[in-house]
Structure formats: C-alpha cells, structure tokens
Amino acid sequence: MLAVMSRLRGIAVSSGRATAPLVHIVESIDPPPLRPLGISPDDACATIRTAAAAVKAELQELAAEATGQAQEILSMTALMAADPALLGGAETFVREQKLTPELAVWQSADDQSATLRAMGGMMAERAADVIDVRNRIVAHLTGVPLPGLPELTEPCILAARDLSPADTANLDPMIVRGIVTLEGGPTSHTAILARDLGIPAIVAIDAAIVEIPEGTHVAIDGTAGYLHTANFDPADFDHVPCVPLSFDGEGRLADGTRIELMANISEPAGALQAVASGAEGVGLLRTEFLFNDAIREPSVERQVAEYGKVFAEFPGRTVIVRTLDIGEDTPFLAPVGVPNPALALRGFRAAFQHRSVIENQLQAIAQAAAQHTADVWVVAPMISTPSETDEFMHLARAAGLRTAGVLIEVPAAALNAGPILARADFATLGTNDLIQYTFAADREIAHLAELATPWDRSILTLIQLTCQAAAQQDRPVVLPGEMAGIPELAVVAVGLGVTALSMSARRLGVVARVLESVTLAECRELAGLALGCESGERARELVRGRLPILEELGR
C-alpha cells in the first residue's frame, strides 16, 4: 500500500468545511473470476433463483416507497429480476459450461443487454436496467457491496469517481457533509448542484483517496480544496457550511445603476431558498429534473404542475425557463453511441428530431404561466445560428409565449450575436458551456479546469461581442453561468455590458455586496484591464487587486 499523505489536494468547487467518516461509493462490480463450480449444477441453479427472488423483492420494496416515474421504473426493473430469458440463460451456462452462479448470471445478462442494445430505441434504453439487475444479483451471490449510492443515515463525506447529477440532487446536506470526486470540474452539473445544496465539495481529488479506508474520520475544506485524512483538529471543521451573506433583494452598483440579481434553480424546491435569499427572479430554471429519470416524456399536466410551483413563488417577477437541454445528463433522448456527446444532437438541436417534446414543453410552460402572475420568459439552450433562433421564436410564439430568447453558449452564436439578437427578445450567456466549447476542454474533466478559465480574453471578448450586439438592439443580457456567482467576475461581466446576473441563491449576498462597492465606470475600467491581459491568471490578479472589499469580506 502506498504511504498516504495526511492532506489530499483537489480543486475546490463548493465552499464550507466539515468533518465526518468517509464513505466510498462503489463504482461498478468487477466481473466474477472463472473458477471451478464446486457444487452440483442443480444447487447452483437453485442459488441463482434464490438470489434473483431476493433482488426482485428488494426492488419491489423500493418501488413501493417511490412515487411517479421512479416507481414505474423500479417496478419494471423488479420484473426483470425474474425474467425467464435472463435466469434461463444463466442456468444454461451453469449446466452446459459449468460456470459458477455469479459468472453465469454475468454472462447471461451481458447477452441480454447486447440483444436489447442491438434492437435500438426504447429497448436499447432497457440495457442499463439489465446491467443494474445483474449487479444486484451478483452482489447477492458474492456478498460484495452494491455499486451506486448506499442508503445513508449517518453524517458522512462521500468519495466517488463521479456522481451523477440525479444522485447529487437527492443528497441530504445534513447527512452528506462533503463530497470529493476524482472527476468533474468547477462547472460540471454535479459541482453546481453541490453549491446549490451548500455541500462542501472538491473535484479532481488526489488519486490516493482510494487508499483511505472507509470509515476514516476525514475533514473537508471546500474553500481551499483540501481533504485532511489525519492530523487535523476536528474543532476547526465543526460542520461550517460557508455562511452566505444576506441580500436585501435589490442589486445595484455604487452609482445607483440597477443590476438585477436572480437565482438559478435546478428543481422547484430551489425556488423557496431563492425567495428566502432575496432573489429578484429566476434567471435560469433548468428543466432537466423532469426528464432525469424518465424513460419517456413527462406529461404536460405534470410539467404544468412543476413549473407552476416555481412561478407561484415569484409573483410579478421574471422567471426564465430553459427548454430541455438534452445532453449527457438527461438519459431521456440523450445522444448514445456518438464519439463526442457534448458536440452531438443536444440542446435545442434535438428539437429538430423530437419537435413534439419541445412543443409540449412550451405548451406546458404557457399553461402554467397563465395560472400565475410571474413574468415568464423562455430560453432555448445551445442555439448556434440565426435560423435556429427563428425556429425557436416561431415555436415559442405558437405556444403563446410573449418573451423568448436564446442561450449564447456556443462560440458561433456569440460571433453571430447581431443577427441572432435581431430575432430574439433577449440573450442569456451560458458561459459554462461557452468556456468548454471555446477551449475544446470538456467541463467534466477536472484537469482541464485551469486551462478553461472565464478570465481568458477569448471568453471576455465573446461576452463583450454578445453584449454589444444586444445593446445595439436594446436587448437585455442575463448571465446565469457559474462566473456570475464569483464577485470579481460579476464586476467584469457588468463592465462588459451584462444587465442582470443569475446564480446559486447562496452567492447573492456576496455578489451584491461587491457590486455595491463599484460604479459602472469602474466596472468598465476593470473589464478593460482584464481584456488587456494576455493571461487569465494576470487578469484575475489585476482585478482582484482593485477590489479591496474582497479581502474585507474574506473572499
């Protein structure tokens, strides 16, 4: 075993400190080794049937506790555990090839999932469920822990290769006191959700994390990016989530210029925290939560109800709803089997193949909007051309939605912002994606985070081009990318012409406080300084040096 350091380094993505025992998330189950059967084939087949029945019962129990789509999915998966093709195939492997029960189940499930994948469409999507059932049966047969999130009842710090956004969204911050992952980046959806939940998190953690035994008391510093595995004083880490500064609900600069400060929301429950934090509206309502677990499209009625929950919290205020951003995080309609999913048929592009899904969603948004007084705007992700803009505007108007805009998150759109904004009512700047596409650096790959920085003049120039085009046509520009929640970058963005900022509710106070300390002329001067730097690091240093308030606030 390697000697493990008492402090492991990573990239800090969600502030706060905590100490708790470490829990490793098992990523996958290894294929069982080939070994002699050792028992009679009849006994081996009986063992398989017993394990499969136990898994079926376990899944039925989970289904009974779940609701909606999750219940449906778990019930169907439970039936798979008793599938005659899966179990019959395994028994044949036992009888004909004398494989052990676990290897026989493994091989049979592999055959089943390959057949499903070859069928394509909805059937191909079931292949992952067969693998889930396989893992559960093999775990029963061999006594190894199941992969995925275990049921967590005691405070802990989670260590994983990566967590899915769906898993992260369901974490309870009182139980999960910290997250460390080997993969992921500062703008990965998992990092965004951790910040939303106020759970300290570190990505790109030193690979030695795998050497730290489960149950070890560790301490996470999500502000500095360290996980202490020994020699720390627990009193220093006594569950200190980074306490957000308060916000009085009206963003402005020192000279009185109004800059609306809004919240990003990834699920309806986030609306309550946003309101409590003083958000002036919602600058980005991500709607993937409705499509995360879905094997099929959520009904219009369900969508109306979910959007309505958010609109109800913001009477008279602007709520910008993003239509489904089909991509890697949305199993529903996600591109499969393509070499570069982030560059595939995703975002609004997918509407060309699945037009009715977007039409239904826009209908649902319009219906929900009609039931509330919130000023509902809609925005389409990943728009790249003026003609895509025309298409979206047409769909939005057809649904009866008055205000429709585009997310500028592809460099082509920023470079062509003039004609795009001549068609759209407003722009929002998706800088998380804009950065990844400008640098050709996957936002999920931690080690590229230093390269792909919002401080680089390439990014600042694309923001400036978008804002100039918007100003010429009198269109607002909202910035909901993660950089909006970093006060020194918020100042630069305002200097470049952004008219409203939207961020995790917890960041509103600190951003408001720093904006209050500068005039518009100063923001423009700092933006100019940053644009003049050849390196992002230098730009950050220069701008921070001109904002003494950051030190006063301990940021």
Binding site for Mg ion (CB under 5 A): 409, 430, 433
Shortest distance (Å) from residue 499 CB to ligand PEP: 16
Q: Which stretch binds ligand PEP (CB under 6 A): 20-28, 354-362, 431-439, 463-471?
A: 431-439
Q: Which residues of 217-248 are buried (b: 16+ CB within 10 A; e: fewer)?
A: ebbbbbbebbbbbeebeeeebeebbbebbebe
Q: Which stretch binds ligand PEP (CB under 6 A): 204-212, 290-298, 364-372, 424-432?
A: 424-432
Residue from 430, 454, 476, 509 in contact with ligand PEP (CB under 6 A):
430
The whole-angstrom separation of Cα 316 and Cα 220 is: 41
Q: How far is CA 368 from CA 9, 21, 375, 510, in A?
A: 46, 44, 11, 33
Q: How many residues does the chain have?
A: 555
Q: Say whether residue 285 binds ligand PEP (CB under 6 A).
A: no
Q: Which stretch binds ligand PEP (CB under 6 A): 39-47, 243-251, 254-262, 426-434?
A: 426-434
Q: Say whether residue 454 binds ligand PEP (CB under 6 A).
A: no
The whole-angstrom separation of Cα 435 and Cα 460 is: 10
- 194 or 380: whose CB is closer to Mg ion? 380
Q: Say whether residue 481 binds ligand PEP (CB under 6 A).
A: yes
Antiparallel, parallel or unpaired: β 176-181 and 201-203:
parallel
Q: Say whether residue 267 binds ligand PEP (CB under 6 A).
A: no
The whole-angstrom separation of Cα 244 and Cα 232 is: 25
Q: Say whether residue 431 binds ligand PEP (CB under 6 A).
A: yes
Q: How far is CA 80 from CA 58, 71, 124, 482, in A?
A: 12, 14, 14, 41
Contact track, ligand PEP, 315-354, x by CB under 6 A: ----------x-----------------------------
**Interaction partner, residue 195 (Mg ion, ligand PEP, none; CB < 5-8 Å by kind):** none
- 104 or 357: whose CB is closer to ligand PEP? 357
Q: Say whether residue 190 binds ligand PEP (CB under 6 A).
A: no
Residue from 480, 495, 497, 509 in contact with ligand PEP (CB under 6 A):
480
Shortest distance (Å) from residue 547 CB to ligand PEP: 23
The whole-angstrom separation of Cα 335 and Cα 14 is: 29
- 101 or 497: whose CB is closer to ligand PEP? 497
Shortest distance (Å) from residue 305 CB to ligand PEP: 22
Residue from 409, 444, 488, 522 in contact with ligand PEP (CB under 6 A):
409
Strand order in the sheet with 17-24: 7-9, 226-228, 217-221, 17-24, 156-160, 176-181, 201-203, 11-14
Q: How far is CA 280 from CA 6, 86, 220, 286, 489, in A?
A: 44, 54, 32, 17, 20
Measured in whole angstroms, the distance separating CA 305 from the mean position of its chain's CA atoms is: 22
CA-closest candidate to residue 203, choices 410, 381, 442: 442
Q: Say whether residue 284 binds ligand PEP (CB under 6 A).
A: yes
* Residue that is written with structure tokens 């025309």 in the block: 390
- 200 or 480: whose CB is closer to ligand PEP? 480
Residues that bind ligand PEP in the complex, under the rule CB under 6 A: 284, 286, 325, 409, 430-433, 480-481
